[in-house]
Structure 1
Amino acid sequence: MVDDHALFRAGLRLLLQSIQHNAEVLEASTLAEAIALATRHPDLSVCLLDLNLEGEYGLDGLSRLKQIAPDVAAVVVSAAHDPVTIHACLDVGAMSFVPKSMPPATLALAMKEVLAGNVYLPPDVLAHSGSSETAAPVLTRRQHDVLRALGRGLPTKSIARELGLSEHTVKEYISALFCALKVNNRTEAVVTATALGLWSARSAGRGQ
């Protein structure tokens, strides 16, 4: 959890631990501290990152974090939540975007989704995704695995290692997903899949 406001960190820590009682929460107030923690804890699963850290430009910080820890699911928790910023964060490798301005109950629901490994994006971003014109495709189990890995912001190399596939095969699955979702890139795929509710295992069919 990376935020330079100690009070917000304290509140978010209580929320996280109320959702997942056995969660180990590590805190940092600067990007340098966050990178040091990620280096010392290679098993780190989720990073909640504020874009507006003092003395840091948010997207650069997110990019540096993903370079150091590419397998970490980065979740941006920020006061800024315009569509351009949100899409830019997804482009850099963020898994989800949670506005700080949300009511406490909505923030709790968003964090439950994030801790369950699902993508959370603000409703106004999903409303403009164009997914209303796209029928939800039935994905194979393997396509669904690759889609969830894309949602976590994993690079192709990490997806291949995690799923025991070659990078070439992963790229083929990604291309097939783009066609099924009628999108042109990873960010569009994540937004469309979120709008269509494809993160649930129930959306996956059988086979490879």
Structure 2
Amino acid sequence: MTAPRILIADDHPLFRAAVLHALREALGQVDVVEAASASALGPALAAHPEIELVLLDLTMPGARGLSSLVYLRGERPDIPVVVISSNDHPRTIRRAQQFGAAGFIPKSSTAEVIGKAVSDVLEGGTWFPPMTAERSESDAQLAARLAQLTPQQFRVLLCLADGLLNKQIAHELGLAENTVKVHVTAILKKLDCHSRTQAAVLVKALEPEGEV
């Protein structure tokens, strides 16, 4: 039986090591790829297309709340994403679920719980702790709007939210400036926004109401 390949995306080396230990306790053999920032997710996925699951911290450098989750679901919708966060507020858990997470593991969880959650998701299921927060219709609508964007368009949108000009976005993403202009036009049309500022407000809505 081939060892599952799992991407652990968290900026704390000690926590990544702790998660790896928990995974080996639960699954035995496991092949782990690590990423320490939001910008490292794309290269990690490209270098290891056989990744079967992503364990994602929401507060890595370069992330805006749920932006890394939205990016991963757009880039590789075939790979389940399990959020692993120190904020296990019911609203945070529900939002992660609505934006496409297959599971949510509080960072305070035992190694046994982490292993059980990952095993359940690898087998095609989901794993969420009990929660009482109601489903948000505004989150559902935002998730549907953002799902229209290609992964590249979503990257451009994040740059828009940072207030970058087209020339700066082109430099940041390694694109021609004209290509950026085309993406911006498509983004505004898909999101039904009349300005870059309106689009930026949508990205702000991905940010947590509290710490994540």
Q: TM-score, normalised by structure 1?
A: 0.56
Moved more, 112-121 or 95-104: 112-121
Equivalent residue of 1:97, what SS?
strand
How far apart are the structure 2 equivalents of 1:67 and 1:53? 18
Give the structure 2 partner of residue 7 of structure 1: 14
Equivalent residue of 1:25, what SS?
strand
Structure 2: which amino acid aligns with 1:59?
L
**Residue 118 of structure 2 is aligned to residue 111 of structure 1:** yes
How far apart are the structure 1 equivalents of 2:115 and 2:76? 26
**TM superposition shift of 1:24:** 1.0
**TM superposition shift of 1:128:** 6.7
Structure 2 counterpart of 1:78, from 60, 71, 85:
85
Structure 1 counterpart of 2:103, from 90, 96, 109:
96
Q: Deviations over 1:84-137 (max 9, x none)?
A: 2112112221100111122343333333323333211112x1x677xxxxxxxx
**Equivalences for 1:1-208 in 2 at 5 Å?**
1-123=8-130, 125=131
Moved more, 101-110 or 33-42: 101-110
**TM superposition shift of 1:32:** 1.4
Identity %: 33
How far apart are the structure 1 equivalents of 2:119 and 2:79? 17
Instruction: Summarize the Cα distance change of 1:43–1:107 in structure 2 as closer, same or farther, 3 Å threshold.
Output: closer
How far apart are the structure 1 equivalents of 2:129 and 2:99? 18
How far apart are the structure 2 equivalents of 1:11 and 1:88? 26
CA contact (8 A) 2:54 2:82 kept: yes
**TM superposition shift of 1:5:** 0.5
Equivalent residue of 2:82, what SS?
strand
CA contact (8 A) 2:55 2:84 kept: yes
Unaligned runs of 5+ in 1: 130-154, 156-208
Give the structure 1 partner of residue 137 of structure 2: none
Structure 2: which amino acid aligns with 1:49?
L
Give the structure 2 partner of residue 140 of structure 1: none
How far apart are the structure 2 equivalents of 1:100 and 1:79? 5
Q: TM-score, normalised by structure 2?
A: 0.55
Instruction: Summarize the Cα distance change of 1:48–1:36 in structure 2 as closer, same or farther, 3 Å threshold.
Output: same
Equivalent residue of 2:55, what SS?
strand
Equivalent residue of 2:63, what SS?
coil
Number of corresponding residues: 129
CA contact (8 A) 1:2 1:47 kept: yes
Equivalent residue of 1:75, what SS?
strand
CA contact (8 A) 1:39 1:68 kept: no
How far apart are the structure 2 equivalents of 1:100 and 1:80? 8
